[in-house]
Chain A
Amino acid sequence: MDIETRIKGAKALLTETGRMDALSAPGFETACQEVLKNGHVTVVADLAGLEYISSAGLRSILGAAKKLKSAGGSLSFCGVCGMVDEVFRVSGFLKLFTVHASSAQALEE
Chain B
Amino acid sequence: MAGGISLRIPATLESLALVQDFVGTQSRALGLGAEISSRLELVVEELVVNIGSYAYPQGGGDMEVDCVLDRSRRPPSFCLILRDWGEAFNPLSKEAPDLEAGLDERQPGGLGIFLVRELADHCSYRRHGDANEFRACFAMSEGSAP
Contact = CB atoms under 8 A, between A and B. Distances in A.
Interface of A: 21-23, 51-56, 58-59, 62-63, 65-66, 69, 82-83, 86-87, 90-92, 95-96
Contacts of B97: 91
B127 interface: no
Q: Is the interface of B mostly helix, strand, loop or mixed?
A: helix
15 contacts: A21-B16, A52-B42, A54-B112, A55-B46, A58-B108, A63-B108, A69-B103, A82-B38, A86-B39, A87-B42, A90-B115, A90-B118, A91-B99, A92-B100, A96-B106
A66 B111 contact: no
B16 A23 contact: yes
B103 A83 contact: no
Contacts of A90: 115, 118-119
A31 B100 CA distance: 27
A51 B118 CA distance: 19
Nearest to B20: A21
Interface of A, secondary structure class, is helix
B45 interface: yes
A90 B114 CA distance: 9
Contacts of B46: 54-55
Interface in B29-53: 38-39, 41-42, 45-46, 49
